[in-house]
Amino acid sequence: MWAPPVVWVAIFNGIAGVLLVLGFIFIRQRRIRAHKRMMLSAFVCSVLFLVVYVWHHLVDGITYFRRTGPIRTIYLVVLGTHTPLAAIVPVLAIITMTLALRGKFVRHKAWARWTLPIWLYVSVTGVVVYWMLYRM
């Protein structure tokens, strides 16, 4: 069965990260509509990432990091922080997004203070994990 190239995993993660930063910049500038578009687009990119990620692993299986030495320790630390945080990002993103869409902006802002840095970290470290696995 055909699977999309694994590079799309990193591309969707990277785009989501850029959109998150733009969304943050726009809300700081009080550009509410632009902020909403960026954050919804970041969510769509993250969903696309998840689809491609699962599809890739169903078809190609698990890829193991084969390098040894200090780089392996660095990889495992990055992966060890990325993975559990990646598991909670969908929940955080859905709660934060739902609060905004329902107009509960005080609660949305409180959740976003946690969601944004975690989601951004997961997006960036997702690209780092891809690079370490497939490009190093």
**If phi over 0 gives left and psi between -120 and 50 gives alpha, with beta otherwise, what is residue 69?**
left
Token representation of residue 67:
């390098």
pLDDT in tens, the chain (136 residues): 666 788 999 999 999 999 999 999 999 999 999 999 999 999 999 999 999 999 988 988 888 999 999 999 999 999 999 999 999 999 999 999 999 999 999 999 999 999 999 999 999 999 999 999 998 7
pLDDT attached to residue 1: 62
Give pTM, 2 decimals: 0.92
pLDDT attached to residue 4: 72
Say if residues 52 and 8 touch (Cβ distance below 8 Å). Answer: yes
